[in-house]
Each structure stands twice: as C-alpha cells, then as structure tokens.
Structure 1
Amino acid sequence: MTPEIQTRYAFTITALIGPVTSAGETGSGVRRIIPIIGGEVKGERINGKVLSFGADFQIVRPNELIDLEAKYAFETDDGAVVYVENRGIRFGPVELLQKLKRGEPVDPQLIYFRTVPRFETGSEKYRWLMEHIFIASAARHADRVVIDVHQVL
C-alpha cells in the first residue's frame, strides 16, 4: 500500500503585478506577459518580500483557459533568496475571466486557479522548500495575485 497523500498549509505569497503586455495571437493562443513588481511572503516557517523582477508568462487559449508560468524570486526576512517557478491553469466562466482582464472584481471561489510552485535556494534553513512537492490555490485581483501554498506530505 502506498502512503496517503495529505497536504498542509505552508505560506501565502502575495505578488504585486504591473500592466499586462501582449505579444498577440501566436498560433497557440494569446501570449501575455505580466510583470511581478513586489509583494510579500507570510507563513509560520517563512516570511519575506517578493523581489521586484520576474513575470507571469501566460497563454490564453480558446474559451479563456489560461496556462500560467511565473518566474520570480523572494527574499526571506533573514536574507535568503528563493527562486520560484510556478506553473498552473486558470479557468472559469468566460464572462468572469473577461471581467478579471478588465480589472473588475470577481469572487475567487468562482474561478479555478491552481498551480504547482517549485523552489530553489542555497539556504540550508529553507532546503525543505526543495525537498517537497507543493500545490497552491490562487486568486487574481486587479493589482495582485494571492497564492496559498500547501506542502504535500
């Protein structure tokens, strides 16, 4: 018998975002690039600030299915730098996703927004970030994305 999969809340990343840049229809969807300009990380075992570089590189497919790939970093309160690659999807009713695009508020419970973040760091204290799988539930707001990260046990 294999071990049962369980998760435990680990921390929340709030990534502040800048204006969207679009490269247009590329043949596989509309390529969008959204800069990550700051934010914070808060949790029981880790706290810090999102660094002001990186971006979310998206492909918007038909019916507003969005493939996401964010690459950025954060610095912990004690000076460790953690690189983040976060892939996922966002999907929901087309009219609600179009409201999000316009910066209008939408109840996050009505949008499926899940990701799989991976972390890299040279800090021994935060090595646990590289030794586990994480999954996340996220919510998009006009100026930020809030990501609740859960550790797979």
Structure 2
Amino acid sequence: MTPQLETRYVFTITARIGEVTSAGEIGTGVRRIIPITGGEVRGEQVNGKVLPFGADFQIIRPNELIELEAKYAFETDDGAVVYVENKGLRFGPVELLQKLKRGEPVDPKLIYFRTVPKFETGSEKYRWLMENLFIASAARHADRVVIDVHQVL
C-alpha cells in the first residue's frame, strides 16, 4: 500500500500588495519586488492582520516561471507577532501570466501557484506554527494575493 500524505486547512492569508518595482534582467530572469501593504489572516485557530511591511521578491524566468520569496509578518488578534517566509512557484500559460503581470484578472484555477510558508514566533500559543510543515495554494489578484495555508499532518 502506498503511504498517504494528508493535510488540513488552517487559515487564509490575504496580503494586500503595492506597485511592482523591477530591477530588470539580472542574467537569470527579471527581478521584481512587490511591497506587502497590509491584509488579514482568517481561520479557526489563527486570526489577525498582515502588518504593512515586507515584500515578495520574485524572479521571472525566460519561460515565465515565477520563483517567489515573500517575507513579512502578521499580528494575531490576541497580540502575537508571527514572521512569515513564504517560498514558491507560479506558472501557467504564458498569455495568462502576462495578463497577471499587467494587473488583469485571471481565473486562479488556470495558474499553478503553490508555496511553502515557514513561520516564526515567540508566542507559546502559536508555537505549533514552528513545529509543523505547511503548504499553500495561492491566487494572485490585481491588489492582493490570497494564500490558503494547509498543515501537513
């Protein structure tokens, strides 16, 4: 019998984003920096607000494969601060990725956008975020990124 890997949905991070800054072609792709300006976290065990700092640092490869690394933090409703480092990939048909780059709407189901968030906090209540692995499915919209976080059981 093949071993099964199970996950459990835990919360959704909605990160509002600002204007894209590009450092241009760096030899391995185009470096982009997208500021994180706020947002919210909603779930059964974790609720709060995304703090208005941090950014998503991306490299867009020549085939439009996007490697991303976001670094930011959120504060829970009960005052704990949680640092987030979220690495991932976004890929799909070139014409749809170009629409996303222009800020045009694209059905998220047509884009592969998966991430591996890692959390750090000094809060005992949320220590479990550091003691487990998580994967996420995300969707890019013109003004925000919506990240559905799942705990790997």
Provide the residue aligned with 2:121 in structure 1: 121
Q: What CA distance in whole angstroms lies between the structure 2 residues aligned with 1:77 and 1:53? A: 18
Provide the residue aligned with 1:44 in structure 2: 44
Q: How does 1:94-109 map to 2 (within 5 A)?
A: 94-109=94-109
- Displacement over 4 Å in runs of 4+: none
Could you tell me which runs of 5 or more consecutive residues in structure 2 were left unpaired when the two chains were aligned. none
Q: What CA distance in whole angstroms lies between the structure 2 residues aligned with 1:2 and 1:116? A: 24
**DSSP-derived class of the 2:96 partner:** helix
Provide the residue aligned with 2:83 in structure 1: 83
**DSSP-derived class of the 2:103 partner:** coil
Q: What CA distance in whole angstroms lies between the structure 2 residues aligned with 1:2 and 1:101? A: 40
Provide the residue aligned with 2:112 in structure 1: 112
Provide the residue aligned with 1:130 in structure 2: 130
TM-score normalised to the size of structure 1?
A: 0.98
Could you tell me which runs of 5 or more consecutive residues in structure 1 were left unpaired when the two chains were aligned. none
Aligned-residue Cα RMSD (Å) equals: 1.2
Provide the residue aligned with 1:93 in structure 2: 93
CA shift at 1:2, angstroms? 9.3
Provide the residue aligned with 1:11 in structure 2: 11
CA shift at 1:62, angstroms? 1.2
CA shift at 1:63, angstroms? 1.5
Provide the residue aligned with 2:140 in structure 1: 140
Q: Percent identity?
A: 86
**DSSP-derived class of the 1:109 partner:** helix
CA shift at 1:4, angstroms? 3.5
TM-score normalised to the size of structure 2?
A: 0.98
CA shift at 1:46, angstroms? 0.5
Q: What CA distance in whole angstroms lies between the structure 2 residues aligned with 1:45 and 1:10? A: 7
